[in-house]
Structure 1
Amino acid sequence: MTLTRTRAGFSVMETLVAVALLAIAIIPLYAFQQTLANAAQRLQTASDLLDAQESALAILQTMDPVAQPAGEMDLGGWRLSWESRELASEQPADGYLGTSIWGITLYEVDATLERGATRHAFSIRRVGWIQVRDPSQF
């Protein structure tokens, strides 16, 4: 009389089925993780662009479009370039006290921020002024 003993545990077929079910369950989790990583990268790029735009606006607000109608500069890895064009002018400017010694001009400043393949263009309006009359005759 022979006794057959069976061992407790998983058979090879049960193990393969368990691994297949686990793989099927992990695939959507991997896709979800990839989506989150892509979203985080896009958010970081947008944040970097916003920081660069704030810096560019601060520089362009202090820039005199009469003295610097065009130019370029580096902003922490970004390349800022701008070009100004005259929209309207008054030479000399008239005010409530009469004619001024200053002539004023409204400019449209077209600026571009570039870094690698990322390029962002925007425009602002600035007032430029230049002395057109002798102040001793005022």
Structure 2
Amino acid sequence: MSPRSLYNQQGFSLLEAIVALTLVATLGAGLFAWMNSSLSSLNRVRDASIERSARLNILEYCKSINPMNRPAGEHDFGAYRIEWTSQLKEPAMDAIGFPSGRGNFQVGFYDLKVQAVRAGSPWFLLELDQVGYRRVRQALLPGWSPAE
């Protein structure tokens, strides 16, 4: 071959093709790793958002729980459910009436443990302080007496 014919050849040499494929493979692997970490981060953010929403729903529901009347129980929220137990922290006592004397309710201070369960396995645990109450006497209005 003459030197002139070497400069006039068409296409890539095998070495040039291998170098190009190596560069494309390296860039592809880097792009795949970046997308994988982005998707993992997105999944962690989504799971944290779902858990935060569930915690807010459970806290709102716990406002309706009276541990003196229902010391344990469960509630189904659809995608997850909760199970709670309560333990008396301070002895129950009569509330103070207005303007003086004993009130109509007894109140107690409880530890409320709420276990969230998702897909049959424990998800997270909330520990709350909750007031329990129970009516123990009727209010007597001035001028009114109970039927005998």
- The verdict on a shared fold, with TM-score over 0.5 as the criterion, is yes
Q: 2:105, 2:137 within 8 Å by CA — same for their partners in 1?
A: yes
Of 120, 124, 144 in structure 2, the residue corresponding to residue 120 of structure 1 is 124
Structure-2 separation of matches of 1:82 and 1:38:
33
**Match in the other structure for 2:15:** 13
Per the alignment, residue 102 of structure 2 pairs with: 99
SS at match of 1:135: coil
Q: Which consecutive unaligned segments of at least 5 residues does structure 1 have?
A: none
Contact 2:69–2:134 (Cα < 8 Å) also in 1: no
Give RMSD over aligned pairs. 2.3
**More displaced stretch, 32-41 vs 128-137:** 128-137
CA distance 1:73–1:129, shift in 2 (3 Å): same
Matches within 5 A, 1:1-138: 6-95=8-97, 97-116=100-119, 119-136=123-140
Partner deviation per Cα, 1:31-86 (whole Å, 9 max, x = no partner): 11111111111111111111111111111111111222111122131121111111
Range 8-17 or range 50-59, more displaced:
8-17
| One-letter identity of the residue aligned with 2:112 | V
Q: Matched residues, percent identical?
A: 25
> Which moves more between the two structures, 79-88 or 19-28?
19-28
Secondary structure at the counterpart of residue 17 of structure 2: helix
